[in-house]
Structure 1
Amino acid sequence: MPELPEVETVLQTLQKQIEHRKITDIEIRWVNIIAYPQPEVFQRVLTGHEFTGFHRLGKYLIFTLQDLTLICHLRMEGKFYLEPSDSPLEKHTHVIFHLDDGRQLRYNDTRKFGKMYLYQPGEKWLALNNVGLDPWDRQLTTDYLTAKLHHKKMPLKQALLDQSIIAGIGNIYADEICFACRKSPMLSVDNLTEKDLQELINQTRSILQEAIAAGGTTIRSYTSSLGISGRFQQSLQVHTRVNQPCHCCQTKIVKTRVAGRGTYYCPHCQELKL
């Protein structure tokens, strides 16, 4: 699943390519991708509008098209590609935005889990109702985390994956953040001090920013909208490195499951201390 750095990379790529481009037509080939409004309304209202703003909240892409807002979640395998109009269609191309320069912005999704939401002026963005703070939001403070985690006994990794707390962190970066903080992913969050929480914020921002600079992480199939793979996988400290030596202490990286997710950590550097 694309996480925050991958989504940000897609956003930056698209902004450079389609800002001020107008949608002249829309083909919807798999209607379930359109979560709101009805597909025919989505198509009718959005056609003729120009891409004027590019934003992101967590894993959500937020496009401004004059007075409209298009919100997209890529879910597991969603991708946007820019193609010439005469380029052959791939099997899993489900939505095609025809642009006024003759190119097509194609949404491809092998799993068909992605969703698009179109909001008109005055409508509430219900798609974002349960989304927490972006990692760079100024409201993300130790006080905020204390309030969110108060009296909870969930593992640290589960808290990092909870999109209603901090938006955008997925399995890859949760592992890397836990390692950077030298905290076990199994550590219950009620054991975190204020100093620990500040370190968590700092490392989250640092790692995500580094991953954005590297164009994201490509482990399976992620590429940018120009088909370019990310490079942050070359910097991973623990994720996917089971049985390989820790870069810091040479202890073999271990794989376990936390909150139902495959989890990688160093049992020495991230010893579970209560």
Structure 2
Amino acid sequence: MPELPEVETVVRSLEKHLSGLTITDVDLIKEEVIRLPRTENFMEQIIGRKFQKKLGRRGKYLLIHLTEGLTLVVHLRMTGRLVYCAAEYPMEKHTHVIFHLDNGKHLRFADVRRFGRISLVPTPEVDHFPGIKDMGPEPLDEEFSREYLKKEFRRKRTRIKPLLLDQSFVAGLGNIYVDEALHRAKIHPERLAPNLTTREAANLHKSIVEVISEGILHRGTSFRDYVDGEGRTGSFQNHLRVYNREGLPCFNCGKPIERIKVAGRSSYYCPSCQKAK
């Protein structure tokens, strides 16, 4: 699933193309992709709307702001793609929605597994949208501080890996970047959050900020499905230290990376650098 760096990259890559363009028509090939409102209302409300200058993001949600106080809330889920392209560009097999633009281009939503969803909501209601309303702080915002982690760790009697995946605790983190941050901080994914020391909490905060920033710098991680808003892959997969590297040597100590299941999710870690304690 695209995580914060991937979604942020999609936002930045689309923003420079969509500003000021008008949606002239929409092809709904798979109507179930539209979560809200009803299909006929969606079509009636969105045609003729212009894209605002700035797009947005909250956690893993894309926020595409339109004129007249409307926002497209898009969640890519596992395999969704939102790509700006020429109208004559070959159609992907699993394209479900095509937004026709007044410059002759398309904005296309494709999704192999069909889990992604698009909603059109009044902009003032975005903060109350299900999935967004209870979201925790953004990793790169001031609210996500060392003090926040220390305080919350004391209150959460749970393992650190599933806690960091909890979107109500911190927004936008997923399996890839949590594994990478835990490795950098030398924390085992099954450690209990309240048992982390003050120093470990500080190191983890630093590692989360670093890995998210680097993920954005390298335009996200591409293994199979993820591309940005221009159809380009990211390159952070070339800089991963543990994720998807089972059996390969740790860059720190040379020991083989291992994979275990934590809360039903594959977790990659170094048993030497990240001791269970």
Aligned partners of 1:196, 1:250: CA distance in 2, in Å? 22
Structure 1: which amino acid aligns with 2:55? F
Residues 238-267 of structure 1: CA distance to partner in whole angstroms, max 9, x if unpaired? 111111111111111111111111111000
**Structure 1 unaligned residues grouped into runs of 5+:** none
Aligned partners of 1:186, 1:266: CA distance in 2, in Å? 12
| Percent identity for Structure 1 against Structure 2 | 40
Structure 2: which amino acid aligns with 1:266? C
- Residue of structure 2 equivalent to 1:260: 264
Aligned partners of 1:162, 1:79: CA distance in 2, in Å? 23
Pair 1:197 & 2:201 matched: yes
Pair 1:178 & 2:182 matched: yes
Pair 1:153 & 2:157 matched: yes
- Residue of structure 1 equivalent to 2:166: 162
- Residue of structure 2 equivalent to 1:63: 64
Pair 1:136 & 2:151 matched: no
Equivalenced residue count is 273
Aligned partners of 2:83, 2:13: CA distance in 1, in Å? 10
- Residue of structure 1 equivalent to 2:253: 249
For residue 84 of structure 1, report the CA deviation from its aligned partner.
Answer: 2.1
- Residue of structure 1 equivalent to 2:89: 87
- Residue of structure 1 equivalent to 2:129: 126
For residue 117 of structure 1, report the CA deviation from its aligned partner.
Answer: 1.8
Q: Secondary structure at the match of 2:125?
A: coil
| Contact residue 65 and residue 123 of structure 2 kept, 8 A | no
Pair 1:236 & 2:237 matched: no
- Residue of structure 2 equivalent to 1:108: 110
Structure 2: which amino acid aligns with 1:63? I
Output the TM-score relative to the length of structure 2: 0.93
For residue 41 of structure 1, report the CA deviation from its aligned partner.
Answer: 1.1
Q: Secondary structure at the match of 2:55?
A: strand
For residue 237 of structure 1, report the CA deviation from its aligned partner.
Answer: 0.6
For residue 86 of structure 1, report the CA deviation from its aligned partner.
Answer: 3.1
Could you say if the C-alpha distance between residues 272 and 77 of structure 1 is closer, same or farther in structure 2, counting changes exceeding 3 Å? same
For residue 177 of structure 1, report the CA deviation from its aligned partner.
Answer: 0.4
For residue 121 of structure 1, report the CA deviation from its aligned partner.
Answer: 5.1
Aligned partners of 1:137, 1:19: CA distance in 2, in Å? 25
Aligned partners of 1:214, 1:104: CA distance in 2, in Å? 26
- Residue of structure 2 equivalent to 1:12: 12
Residues 140-191 of structure 1: CA distance to partner in whole angstroms, max 9, x if unpaired? 1244334544443322111111111111111111110000111001111011
Residues 28-82 of structure 1: CA distance to partner in whole angstroms, max 9, x if unpaired? 1212211111122112111111111211111111111122111111000000122
Alpha-carbon RMSD across the aligned residues, in angstroms, is 1.6
Q: Secondary structure at the match of 1:206?
A: helix
Structure 2: which amino acid aligns with 1:199? N
Output the TM-score relative to the length of structure 1: 0.94
Aligned partners of 1:171, 1:189: CA distance in 2, in Å? 17
